[in-house]
Amino acid sequence: MELVKSNPLLKTRLEATRIAQAPKLHHRFNPSPAVQLSRVITRLLPQLTPSGEPSNYFEAKSNQEWVRAMNAEIDSINKNETWKLVELPRGAKCIGLKWVFKIKRNADGTLNKYKARLVAKGYVQQPGINFDDVFAPVARIETVRLLIALAASNGWEIHHLAV
């Protein structure tokens, strides 16, 4: 009851009880400069480590290496005519795009290149509406061995093509 009398801001006995039961803090904790630096490093660590690729365009656009990687991807898409711009049919919904970023490293761990890929958000597609066929060619190992044997026995050249 003395807390209520001594503090006119407390209106009820319940508030006074809550305050009286609260733990008492004798001093405010001021972290040392080392602790403060540790917090800064922890916050910045994802950007500094090899696995610290940006998770979206907004994180990547401030770094010139990622901007160059994104421009290279757009140039590649245009050069290979990967996509064709068309008018969106009436009633259709546009499928979104997403940037995926990856730092490629050599076997010794040194930086090889910054890789950016622009991918369609395919998980929103519906069969029969957004696409009709799924084409994913997979060669059986027996077929590959047969073709290599034929090429070897006939003296043919073999060329690899990554699609």
CA 134 to CA 125: how far, in whole Å?
12
Question: pLDDT tens, 59-104?
Answer: 899 999 999 999 999 999 999 888 888 888 888 778 888 899 999 8
pLDDT number for residue 83: 80
Q: Give the pLDDT confidence score for residue 26 in this predicted structure.
A: 45
pTM summary value: 0.48
| The predicted structure's pLDDT at residue 163 | 61
Beta-carbon contacts of 1 under 8 Å, excluding residues fewer than 6 positions away, are 13, 16
Mean pLDDT check: name the lowest of 20-34, 72-86, 132-146: 20-34
Predicted pLDDT at 65: 92
- Taking the CA atoms of 120, 125, 131 and 135 in sequence, report the sign of the dihedral they define: positive
Highest mean pLDDT among 4-8, 23-27, 50-54, 108-112: 108-112
